């Protein structure tokens, strides 16, 4: 999952000239690492992803791309995981935690799944229904980051859910078709929470609701749109109970 956020770059006063040139062209250099064949590796990122750079032994040339061994194994991915993606994933997860969400399920459930939810999104309701076995079994807590992007009244509906006396109950009633949320005037603070969630949605490169994020080991994985059965199992951390 490519993320625009990045860890602090190295100071550039000690970089070899080719690395400085790539930095000037827009690459952010995160770390230097050992590489085979007399090469020196550099882990770098740009707004749409990550890339490895390999400095030749003479220090005068750099190669940008993936290094493979005699069996075709990717020797760059592990370095990018360690030096670039780990910090990105940690930052993304922290931003999700600090967003404005409604808890769906047991707060003590061991697996946390974040999903961007628009009140006017029919696929969000399908996702809510599909997640019931894991949520009701206490295995997964869904954290619905309420956004307003699909219709003119989506922000007001999202704010009404966040500002409800019991947001979890209001979201449950809205999602199971029992009681459609009616947009009502909310405090400016609540409206700003929806705006902040919308900004986060954009900054993470989301393009559809639901957009769901979950941990896969040290990584943060995402599913945009209604997950397939296979991806649903991955997101929930296992087969339905």
First to last CA, the chain: 28
Provide the token pair at 120: 């006017």
Q: For the ranges 10-19, 27-36, 140-149, 170-179, which has the lowest average pLDDT?
A: 10-19
Provide the token pair at 154: 């989506």
In sequence order, which ranges of the chain are alpha helices (DSSP H)? 17-24, 77-80, 86-98, 122-130, 132-136, 154-162, 167-175, 188-203, 229-236
Is it the case that residue 9 has pLDDT exceeding 90?
A: no
The pLDDT score that the predictor gives to residue 13 is: 64
Mean pLDDT value of segment 20-25: 93
**Would you list the DSSP string of 154-170?**
HHHHHHHHHTSSSHHHH
Burial class of 60 by CB neighbour count within 10 A (0 to 12, 13 to 18, 19+)? exposed
Provide the token pair at 43: 């882990």
Q: Tell me the C-alpha distance between 77 and 192, whole Å.
A: 39
How crowded is the C-beta side of 11, counted as CA atoms within 13 Å?
Answer: 2
Burial class of 78 by CB neighbour count within 10 A (0 to 12, 13 to 18, 19+)? exposed
The pLDDT score that the predictor gives to residue 142 is: 98
Mean pLDDT value of segment 31-53: 92
Q: Which residue has the tokens 């995981």?
A: 81
Provide the token pair at 61: 């040339």
Strand partners, 113: 142, 214
pLDDT bucket at 46, cuts 50 / 70 / 90: confident
Residue 20's contacts (CB-CB under 8 Å, 6 or more residues apart) are 12
The pLDDT score that the predictor gives to residue 195 is: 98
Residues of the chain with pLDDT > 70: what percent?
A: 95
Sheet harboring 140-146: ordered strands across? 101-104, 140-146, 111-117, 211-216, 219-224
Is it the case that residue 40 has pLDDT exceeding 90?
A: yes
Contact 154, 118 (CB under 8 A): yes
Task: Please report the domains of the chain, with CATH numbers, ordered by start residue.
Answer: 12-92 (3.10.450.70), 99-236 (3.40.30.10)
The pLDDT score that the predictor gives to residue 4 is: 39
Chain center to CA of 191: 23
Mean pLDDT value of segment 38-66: 93
- pLDDT digit string (tens) for 92-150? 999 999 999 999 999 999 999 999 999 999 999 999 999 999 999 999 999 999 999 99
């Amino acid at each position: 999952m490519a993320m625009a956020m990045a860890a602090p770059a190295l100071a550039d006063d000690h970089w070899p000239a080719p690395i400085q040139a790539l930095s000037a062209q827009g690459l952010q250099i995160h770390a230097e690492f050992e590489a085979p064949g007399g090469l020196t590796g550099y882990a770098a990122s740009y707004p749409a992803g990550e890339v490895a750079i390999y400095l030749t032994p003479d220090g005068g040339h750099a190669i940008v791309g993936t290094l493979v061994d005699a069996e075709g194994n990717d020797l760059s991915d592990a370095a990018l995981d360690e030096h670039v993606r780990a910090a990105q994933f940690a930052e993304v997860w922290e931003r999700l935690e600090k967003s404005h969400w409604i808890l769906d399920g047991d707060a003590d459930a061991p697996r946390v799944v974040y999903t961007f939810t628009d009140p006017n999104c029919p696929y969000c309701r399908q996702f809510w229904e599909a997640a019931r076995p894991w949520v009701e079994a206490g295995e997964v807590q869904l954290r619905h980051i309420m956004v307003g992007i699909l219709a003119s009244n989506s922000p007001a509906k999202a704010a009404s859910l966040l500002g409800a006396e019991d947001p979890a109950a209001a979201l449950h009633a809205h999602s199971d078709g029992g009681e459609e949320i009616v947009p009502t005037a909310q405090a400016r603070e609540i409206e700003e929470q929806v705006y902040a969630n919308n900004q986060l949605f954009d900054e993470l490169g989301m393009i559809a609701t639901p957009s769901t994020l979950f941990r896969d080991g040290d990584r943060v994985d995402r599913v945009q749109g209604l997950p397939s059965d296979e991806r649903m199992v991955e997101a929930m951390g296992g087969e339905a109970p």
